[in-house]
A and B are shown apart, each in its own frame.
Chain A
Amino acid sequence: MTGNVQRVGQVIAIAGVATLLGLLVWKVAFDNEQGAADKLAKGELVHAPAFSLDRLDRDGTLSLADLKGKPLVVNFWASWCGPCKDEAPVLQQTYQRYRDQGLVVLGVDVKDFREDARRFMRRYGITYPVVYDGKGSTIGRWGIQGYPETFFVDRTGKLVGERIAGAVDIERNREAFERGIALALGDQS
């Protein structure tokens, strides 16, 4: 009987250690998952990670699949973020300027209050589509590290150009911003 108890104890202990080891391996493997931004920076071919989120500019949801075939400027922002205020007029102007060519500026409001975001949109006269990601479900797959961040997506759904961290169209990144728009539109020149 005593031998049986010892054996059961040993089995439980081994199972416990094996479970903890498994969790550790899973955690390490999970943490190594790269976001789209990292892959883009390495020059890898990467498709824009899909999402389907509630809209802030109107009722209903909007998924990336709904915009299939359209060149996109995807901008991750929040109403509490200072540089987001600086770039908001630029993004709105970009949308108006390239709208006829099919370009869509898509705002993703992250970790924010819905009402604050809507107030922000009214204040800056934003008319392009904006979706709400309060839980930050897009952050990991896109590889977002701060706010704002902007990506360019071509008509085939691939990320093109470079990720712009910080407000767009400032001296530091004006060239990258314009090049990203050109690549999204399919203008290779």
Chain B
Amino acid sequence: MIRALALCALVAALLTGTAAAAPSPSDLEAELVCPVCGTTLDQSDAPIAQRMKRYIRERLAAGATEKQIKAELVDQFGPGVLAEPPKSGFDLLAWLVPLAVLVAGAVGVGLIAWGWSRRRGGDDTDDAPVALDPELERRVDAELRRYDS
């Protein structure tokens, strides 16, 4: 158990370290959209896309972080320049709605399955042995005794 926890901590540390490392221009080019052609910068050769790529390289060389560069480009071109919607404000809905639909779907499937299992459980009670009328039971016992003798 301790080994497993240590392994998890190591993996988490490695992942965090990777995320904190300086981004490459190609990382950012895949996360930003050309405002004229609508494709990501790495897919575009439009003049404004080329200018934005140059801007990214210049800012990275000057020590700017990924977050700073994105904020600067959003200031110039608006939030539409981000390939993924931001995880804040109204745009958070773009992330939450699919998740909510997924959860609602899972709950719906669970409810339907629960309903079916209950109905099947109800059917099983129909198959349970029915208590015989005492008179009928007495006669069956008598017949069985006669048959045995």
Contact code string B107-120 (vs A, CB < 8 Å = 1, else 0): 01001101110110
User: Which of B36, B80, B119 has a CB less than 8 Å from the CB of A2?
Assistant: B119
* A1 contacts B by Cβ under 8 Å: yes
Segment 68-107 of B: residues with Cβ below 8 Å from A: 76-78, 80, 104
CA distance A120 to B140 in the complex (A): 109
Q: What is the CB-to-nearest-CB distance from A113 to chain B, in angstroms, rounded to a whole number?
A: 6
Point out the residues of chain A lying under 8 angstroms from B47, CB to CB: 80-82
Q: How large is the interface on A (under 10, 10 to 19, 20 to 34, 35 or more residues)?
A: 10 to 19
State which of A4-12, A151-159, A167-175 sits at the interface with chain B: A4-12
Point out the residues of chain B lying under 8 angstroms from A136, CB to CB: 35, 77-78
Cβ–Cβ contact A111 & B112, under 8 A: no
Interface majority SS (helix, strand, loop, mixed), chain B: helix
Cβ–Cβ contact A5 & B115, under 8 A: yes
Point out the residues of chain A lying under 8 angstroms from B114, CB to CB: 5
Q: What is the CB-to-nearest-CB distance from A132 to chain B, in angstroms, rounded to a whole number?
A: 9
Quick one: closest B residue to A132, CB to CB? B76
Quick one: closest B residue to A146, CB to CB? B36
User: Which of B51, B111, B119 has a CB less than 8 Å from the CB of A113?
Assistant: B51
Cβ–Cβ contact A134 & B51, under 8 A: no
Cβ–Cβ contact B118 & A2, under 8 A: yes
Point out the residues of chain A lying under 8 angstroms from B35, CB to CB: 111, 136
Cβ–Cβ contact B111 & A116, under 8 A: no
Cβ–Cβ contact B80 & A135, under 8 A: yes
A80-B51, A113-B55, A116-B51 given as contacts; is B119 within 8 A of A134 (CB)?
no
Q: What is the CB-to-nearest-CB distance from B40 to chain A, in angstroms, rounded to a whole number?
A: 16
A80-B48, A80-B51, A112-B48 given as contacts; is B108 within 8 A of A12 (CB)?
yes
Point out the residues of chain A lying under 8 angstroms from B118, CB to CB: 1-2
Point out the residues of chain B lying under 8 angstroms from A134, CB to CB: 76-78
Q: What is the CB-to-nearest-CB distance from B22 to chain A, in angstroms, rounded to a whole number?
A: 23
| A-B contact list, 30 entries, CB within 8 Å | A1-B115, A2-B115, A2-B116, A5-B115, A6-B115, A8-B111, A9-B108, A9-B111, A9-B112, A12-B108, A78-B48, A80-B47, A80-B51, A81-B47, A82-B47, A111-B35, A111-B36, A111-B48, A111-B77, A112-B48, A113-B55, A134-B76, A134-B77, A134-B78, A135-B77, A135-B78, A135-B80, A136-B35, A136-B77, A136-B78
B-side interface residues toward A, CB under 8 Å?
A: 35-36, 47-48, 51, 55, 76-78, 80, 104, 108, 111-112, 114-116, 118-119
A-side interface residues toward B, CB under 8 Å?
A: 1-2, 5-6, 8-9, 12, 78, 80-82, 111-114, 116, 134-136
A-B contact sample (4 more), CB < 8 A, given A2-B119, A5-B115: A12-B108, A112-B76, A113-B76, A134-B77
